[in-house]
Chain A
Amino acid sequence: MLLCAIRYYRVKKGLRPHIPSESPNVIFATPTKLVSESNAAVEYMGANKVPDLQRIFQASDEIPVHLKRGVPDRLLYRTTMALTVGGALYCLVALYIAAQPKNK
């Protein structure tokens, strides 16, 4: 009798059968905390690599700063130098040609 009453009540309320109308006590795995309270392990946009770079660039190997990272620096330096020397020569040739008189 009581169960019928309960079922009738649930149908009247629009509640679906067999589903508890109260949610169970919500359990969090860890208590909610503010980001500002969390420790430095929470990174925003990447980890700090500056100490590692400081170690690389402070190595006592007498290499000048523009080559200190090794292969990528050397590649870029050589490309720049090639363009510098090649460009200077091309410029001198172009100016020599430009200086020739125009024969009517």
Chain B
Amino acid sequence: MAHQAHAYHMVDPSPWPLTGAIAALLMTSGLAIWFHFHSTTLMTLGLILLLLTMYQWWRDIIREGTFQGHHTPPVQKGLRYGMILFITSEVFFFLGFFWAFYHSSLAPTPELGGCWPPTGITPLDPFEVPLLNTAVLLASGVTVTWAHHSIMEGERKQAIQSLALTILLGLYFTALQAMEYYEAPFTIADGVYGSTFFVATGFHGLHVIIGSSFLAVCLLRQIQYHFTSEHHFGFEAAAWYWHFVDVVWLFLYVSIYWWGS
């Protein structure tokens, strides 16, 4: 191995930024082709390329960190900054949808009947499934913290069990929310109420699925002995992301489900 006189990571040349960029091109132009010419081939191709890029890019990061030892303390600090900044950008993404919700609901127009919820909309009861969903996500926050402490204390079996339980709770939330979507008495096309409800909760649900996937990868890595009690940043990043998803839900629940009913 070539020796370096610094603690930073000079990465090997990689094709994945190019394949990722082409995937973005194919997905966006594929969307336009689907809208105008009813063909989904280009978009599907873009999606497959995106999945291949993500798999190989993150696989290489695991190789560089766990197997090649490139993730020294200064490098890990950079990765921490990166994850924090990414989550911050996601916070701003959701802030936009909350802005839209409060803009429409604080001063409801005459077209809506001058009230919120608008005339004709029967909102979901916040103390039924949405409250259960809140309990499920809060419990998953506890189990993911349990998993973290188990990893730090070298308790392999407990770490695997608590991490698996966290993922199961995440999947339970997704299933409950899917059922709610199916049974809801209003749709996304039902005026600004429907739009704000389904876009905000829909993007949240997508983030729950992303977070659950991230945790599932961590579970596989924990089983394969990748994490040590001192060094397990991949897991910490997944846990941070999961707590972010939980907090967004709490804001959604209080604003849209509870105050908004």
Chain A residues with CB under 8 Å of chain B are 44-46, 48-50, 53-54, 56-58, 60, 64-66, 68, 76-77, 79-81, 83-84, 87-88, 90-91, 94-95, 98
B22 sits at the interface (CB 8 A): yes
B25 near A44 (CB under 8 angstroms)? no
Minimum C-beta distance from A54 to chain B (A):
5
A80 near B45 (CB under 8 angstroms)? no
B147 sits at the interface (CB 8 A): no
B41 to chain A: closest residue by CB? A90
Cβ contacts under 8 Å, A83 to chain B: 19, 45, 48-49, 52
Minimum C-beta distance from A95 to chain B (A):
6
* Known A49-B225, A76-B56; contact A68-B160, beta-carbon cutoff 8 A: no
Cβ contacts under 8 Å, B105 to chain A: none
25 sample A-B contacts, Cβ–Cβ < 8 Å, listed by A number: A44-B156, A44-B157, A44-B160, A53-B67, A54-B69, A57-B63, A58-B68, A60-B1, A64-B13, A65-B11, A65-B12, A65-B60, A65-B63, A66-B15, A66-B16, A76-B52, A81-B19, A83-B49, A83-B52, A87-B23, A87-B45, A91-B29, A91-B42, A94-B29, A98-B33
Interface size on B, residues (CB 8 A): 42
* Known A54-B67, A94-B29; contact A80-B15, beta-carbon cutoff 8 A: yes
B232 sits at the interface (CB 8 A): no
A-B interface, 10 closest residue pairs, ranked by CB to CB distance from nearest: A57-B67, A64-B12, A48-B225, A80-B52, A84-B22, A84-B19, A87-B45, A53-B67, A87-B26, A65-B12
Measured CA separation A79–B223 after assembly (Å): 29
A66 near B12 (CB under 8 angstroms)? yes
* Known A64-B12, A94-B33; contact A87-B22, beta-carbon cutoff 8 A: yes
Measured CA separation A88–B22 after assembly (Å): 7
Measured CA separation A87–B25 after assembly (Å): 9
A65 near B68 (CB under 8 angstroms)? yes
Cβ contacts under 8 Å, B22 to chain A: 84, 87-88
Cβ contacts under 8 Å, A90 to chain B: 41-42, 45
B32 sits at the interface (CB 8 A): yes
Cβ contacts under 8 Å, B81 to chain A: none
Cβ contacts under 8 Å, B68 to chain A: 54, 57-58, 65
B49 near A87 (CB under 8 angstroms)? yes
Minimum C-beta distance from B154 to chain A (A):
12
A66 near B49 (CB under 8 angstroms)? no
A98 near B32 (CB under 8 angstroms)? yes
A76 to chain B: closest residue by CB? B56
Contact with A along B222-260 (1 / 0, CB 8 A): 011110000000000000000000000000000000000
A97 to chain B: closest residue by CB? B37
Cβ contacts under 8 Å, B36 to chain A: 98
Measured CA separation A81–B18 after assembly (Å): 9
Measured CA separation A87–B16 after assembly (Å): 15
Q: Which of A44, A58, A66, A94 contacts B56 (CB 8 A)?
A: A66
